[in-house]
Amino acid sequence: MKRIPFDRAAAWTGITLALTGLLAACGGSGGGGSNPGDGAGGQDTLPRSLSEVPVATFDSAETVALLAPGSVYGSTVGMSAAGLSLFGALGNAEDSRVLSTQACSDGGQVVFLGRRDEDLHSPYNGGLFDVVTTDDRNCQEGDLTSPSGFAETNTEGERRIGYPVNADPVKADVFAAYELSGVSLEEPFSVTLRTESGSGLEWSRYWDGHVELRRGVGQDSLLGDGGGATRLYQVSRIRSGGNDGIGYDLQTGTGADDRFEMSFQAITDRPASEYREERYSGVFGLRFLDGDGQSIDGACPAGRYRVSTDGLTVDLARGENAEFLLFGDTQSIVSGALTMEDEAGNTAQVVYDGVDGSVTVTLNQGVAESFTYQALNDALLARCYSARR
């Protein structure tokens, strides 16, 4: 099979544009028509230094419904796959890896720090991994000041990417990978995308995770189309949609010894990214941010908790109201239920009904309360973004 040359500038732009859409879906409409920012517009860039999400308190069924993760594909495996560049023209692991220090097309450089075979104790592959370590130093690909420029991407920070020794994702039906992005919460890996339309993406992350991707049944299927899994500890700060977009902190797991576990399986012959069943368990945390990247205090729901599900059915072909600010592809969930527990021992059962367009919460085995998507959207705006209602 002919190996496809790797164009780093085009790759970063394409990957980051894809992530913008993916992350906008994870965090709601990314502003949508309601433009639910904090009312004054935010800083040009959010603070990059990260902190773990504090523990949650389930003080009401509404709080639980707003914090419930829904589909986690986009905030875990979806971001892993895009960040590792395992799809389409970028499926050639060797050609897409930085094996020497390189200048970036519009400033800065990617410094090659080393390469060695390591036992990463992967849950998906028992062999050694070929690990490459790099350091992006103010690396810029694309230039909005150029007459032909339509997007500009800046990256900063260290990454360690591991593939199984001698593995070829172009030919593999099942492929495992590992990513460690960032040195610490104080020194995360960061990527910023700006576009000529004013939209964009900011994503700072400390990311320590294993992933497995499987091809689907079609002849031209890609890795991940059939299903996959991840075990991931991440703390991410994300804003999509430009300065007025929604910003939030996201946490999965609590460390390398307590990673969030997720698996997914395609339904029928459609790609799993579009139609799938998800199963997951572990710590999940969410905190919404104001325009300056600070947590929104008061009534705005926030916090981390333990959650598990035996199965959520998600179909992205379902019609969605782009005006709604709902986390985790809520409107795409056909059916399924979650079990949640906060640190104080409060428990909740959350049931998604895609036919009725509702989320039902039973808190501490009490009386079940149901919320429509419209009601949840209105509640989140009222509790976190009242200036833009």
Tokens for 177, please give them: 């990978």
Residues 6+ apart with CB under 8 A from 34: 323, 325, 381, 388, 389
Interatomic CA distance for residues 101 and 137, integer angstroms: 11
CA distances from 228 to 200, 231, 276, 287, 309 (A): 28, 11, 11, 27, 16
Pairing mode, strands 246-252 and 275-289: antiparallel
Interatomic CA distance for residues 98 and 85, integer angstroms: 12
How much is the pLDDT for 146? 87
| Strand ranges inside 290-332, DSSP E | 302-315
Q: How many CB atoms lie within 10 A of CB 257?
A: 7
Interatomic CA distance for residues 351 and 370, integer angstroms: 9
| DSSP classification of residue 56 | P
Residue 356 lies inside a defined structural domain of this protein: yes
Question: Are 278 and 314 contacting, i.e. CB atoms less than 8 angstroms apart?
Answer: yes
Question: Are 352 and 373 contacting, i.e. CB atoms less than 8 angstroms apart?
Answer: no
Residue 1 lies inside a defined structural domain of this protein: no
- Residues paired with residue 260 on neighbouring β-strands, in sequence order: 232
How much is the pLDDT for 219? 81
How much is the pLDDT for 305? 99
CA distances from 99 to 16, 116, 127, 374 (A): 22, 11, 22, 50
Domain count along the chain: 1
114-120, long-range: CB < 8 A, 24+ apart: 117/165, 118/162, 120/162, 120/178, 120/210
Residue 3 lies inside a defined structural domain of this protein: no
Pairing mode, strands 275-289 and 302-315: antiparallel
Residue 304 lies inside a defined structural domain of this protein: yes
How much is the pLDDT for 110? 94
Interatomic CA distance for residues 19 and 13, integer angstroms: 10
Say how many residues make up the chain: 389
Interatomic CA distance for residues 204 and 49, integer angstroms: 8
User: pLDDT (tens digit, 0 to 9) for every residue of the chain, 389 residues total?
Assistant: 333 334 455 454 554 545 555 554 455 433 333 444 444 455 566 778 899 999 999 999 999 999 999 999 999 998 877 666 543 333 455 556 788 999 999 999 999 999 999 999 999 999 999 999 999 999 998 898 888 888 898 999 999 999 999 888 878 899 999 999 999 999 999 999 888 887 788 899 999 999 999 999 888 888 889 999 999 999 999 987 766 678 899 999 999 999 999 999 999 999 999 999 999 999 999 999 988 888 998 899 999 999 999 999 999 988 777 778 888 889 999 999 999 999 999 999 999 999 999 999 999 999 999 999 999 999 999 999 875 55
Pairing mode, strands 246-252 and 200-214: unpaired
Residue 60's Cβ-side half-sphere holds a number of Cα atoms within 13 Å equal to 10
How much is the pLDDT for 1? 32
- Structure-token match 């200036």, residue found: 387
Q: Which domain holds residue 112?
A: 8-388
Q: Which amino acid is at 108?
A: G
Query: What secondary structure does DSSP assign to 78-136, as a single string?
Result: HHHHHHHT-SGGG--TTTTS--S-EE-TTS-EEEEEEEEEE----SS--S-EEEEEEEE
How much is the pLDDT for 16? 52
Q: Global pTM?
A: 0.88
Question: Are 38 and 291 contacting, i.e. CB atoms less than 8 angstroms apart?
Answer: yes
Max distance between CA atoms of the chain, in angstroms, equals: 61
- Residues paired with residue 189 on neighbouring β-strands, in sequence order: 205
| DSSP classification of residue 45 | S
Across the chain, how many H-helices and E-strands are there?
A: 4, 16
Q: How many CB atoms lie within 10 A of CB 177?
A: 29
Question: Are 166 and 176 contacting, i.e. CB atoms less than 8 angstroms apart?
Answer: no
Q: How many CB atoms lie within 10 A of CB 70?
A: 25
Q: How many CB atoms lie within 10 A of CB 1?
A: 8
